[in-house]
Amino acid sequence: MFVDFSSRPPSLQFDGPATHLANYRRVYEGTEREAAVSKDVDPLADYLATYARLDARHVVLKARDLTSTFGVKIANEDVAAFCRAHGERYIGFAGVDPHKGDAAAAEFETAVRELGLRGLNVQGFEHKLCIDDPLLFALYAKCVELDVPVNIHCGTNFSTHTAMSYGHPAALDRVMMALPDLRVCASPPGWPWVQELLAVAWRHPNVWIGTLAVRPKLLATAHSGYEPLLQYGRTVLKKRMIFGSAFPMMPVDKALAEFDALPMPDAVREDWRGGNALDFLGR
């Protein structure tokens, strides 16, 4: 059993060309090529079969609305429809455009109450907002009101159309001081500010860390910058680390195999694989 906290089905692509992510294709070219299927294979059927074969308990899909900044989106309605069509294995997080103010908070509430989505996805670098920007606080407060978690992009990004500083974890510390009941998964896991993110999670018991969009083997690779995640994730933060493949940025099978090869006790591995995600999701 495992939970994949980050995955995007081939049928849930951005509406419109996501040109702001072009540099991601360069950075992840190798692993994205490995995740691609041959032309004679139905990509959606292969996607669904992969998670069935690997016995995924849940797969988290995330909407994104970047209308005000980059003019593209993955709609809440489309994510909700996918989850309804393919069963309880799939859980959707809403994405709204915080630049729309009160309308964004209302849209998020509708996504939870009427569409059945289970959380909020905030990709601050794509909104050109820091984690603690005032535009985001109304959405965070709505998460607390609705008792649903939020995924917050934390760490650098590889888009050359927006600043890497939007993902600095120090801003997350300020959010948690103001809203200690907010349940946050910070993902990806903070690089190059990994130790700062670990400090934030150690300070705040409602902060989890998602290791998605990172090859798991790097957590055990000397001088990668990711090694502290393994050190703290096996000890004081062992209940607050969450696995994610970030498919199609890397193959699900390969991400799981590299994760399973990491040196950690079996009980801790099971928590990272799924137990911690279930706690975070309230499942």
Reported as a pLDDT band with limits 50, 70 and 90, residue 262 is very high
Neighbours of 166 (CB within 10 A): 21
- Region 57-78: what's the mean pLDDT? 97
Of 145, 150, 119, nearest in space to 132 by CA: 150
Tell whether the model's pLDDT for residue 37 goes beyond 80: no
Strand partners, 209: 186, 241
Q: Which of 16-25, 189-198, 220-229, 242-251 has the lowest mean pLDDT?
A: 16-25
pLDDT above 70 coverage of the chain, percent: 100
Alpha helices in the chain (DSSP H): 22-27, 29-35, 43-53, 76-86, 102-113, 124-127, 134-146, 170-178, 194-203, 227-233, 252-260, 266-270, 276-281
Alpha helices in 116-157 (DSSP H): 124-127, 134-146
Domain boundaries, the chain: 2-281
Give me the pLDDT at residue 23, please.
Answer: 78
- Region 109-122: what's the mean pLDDT? 98
3-state secondary structure of 7: strand
Tens digits of residue pLDDT in 206-237: 999 999 999 999 999 999 999 999 999 999 99
Tens digits of residue pLDDT in 17-31: 888 888 788 878 788
Strand partners, 91: 60
What does pLDDT average to over the chain?
A: 95
Tell whether the model's pLDDT for residue 1 goes beyond 90: yes
* Domain made up of 2-281: CATH architecture: Alpha-Beta Barrel (3.20)
Give me the pLDDT at residue 170, please.
Answer: 97
Q: Which of 49-53, 157-161, 250-254 has the lowest mean pLDDT?
A: 157-161
Give me the pLDDT at residue 139, please.
Answer: 98
Reported as a pLDDT band with limits 50, 70 and 90, residue 107 is very high
Q: For residue 49, what are the contacts with CB-CB under 8 A and spacing of at least 6?
A: none
Residue that wins the pLDDT comparison between 283 and 18: 18
Cβ-count burial of 170 within 10 angstroms (0-12 exposed, 13-18 middle, 19+ buried)?
middle
